[in-house]
């Protein structure tokens, strides 16, 4: 972050130096209008317009990415509600899901199965 700030400051100093060394008046023609302005002012104004345009495009991109993330998180919540009985969380919180199968594999007897049968 600091590197980017330093890089932007160096670029700004270079642009300002270039603009001040080229401060002679120029005639600007746009469609039917024409006016005279300092070349430095034209350069700085062009730089400002470009920065605003790039910043605006960046904000639009950021907003669309946030909306996508929001829609995905809302969709995930709806899918969890539809699943209903499916437990989510850590095995300790849900209960030992595979505990009785481990005992059966080790030769143990499942007490819950005997209660149902007996």
Looking at the chain, list the stretches that DSSP marks H as alpha helix, in order from N- to C-terminal side: 2-21, 39-83, 91-94, 99-105, 111-117
pLDDT in tens, 73-94: 887 766 655 555 555 656 665 5
Cα angle 105, 89, 73 (rounded to 5 degrees) comes to 140
Virtual torsion, Cα 94, 98, 103, 104, nearest 10 deg: 130
Q: Enter the pTM of the model.
A: 0.47
pLDDT in tens, 17-42: 887 788 888 898 889 899 898 888 88
């Amino acid at each position: 972050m600091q590197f980017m700030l330093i890089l932007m400051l160096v670029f700004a100093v270079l642009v300002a130096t270039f603009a001040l060394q080229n401060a002679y008046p120029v005639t600007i023609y746009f469609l039917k209008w024409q006016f005279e302005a300092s070349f430095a002012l034209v350069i700085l104004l062009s730089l400002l317009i470009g920065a605003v345009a790039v910043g605006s495009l960046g904000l639009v991109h950021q907003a669309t990415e946030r909306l996508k993330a929001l829609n995905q998180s809302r969709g995930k919540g709806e899918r969890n509600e539809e699943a209903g009985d499916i437990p989510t969380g850590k095995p300790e919180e849900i209960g030992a899901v595979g505990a009785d199968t481990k005992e059966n594999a080790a030769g143990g007897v499942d007490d819950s199965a005997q209660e149902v049968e007996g």
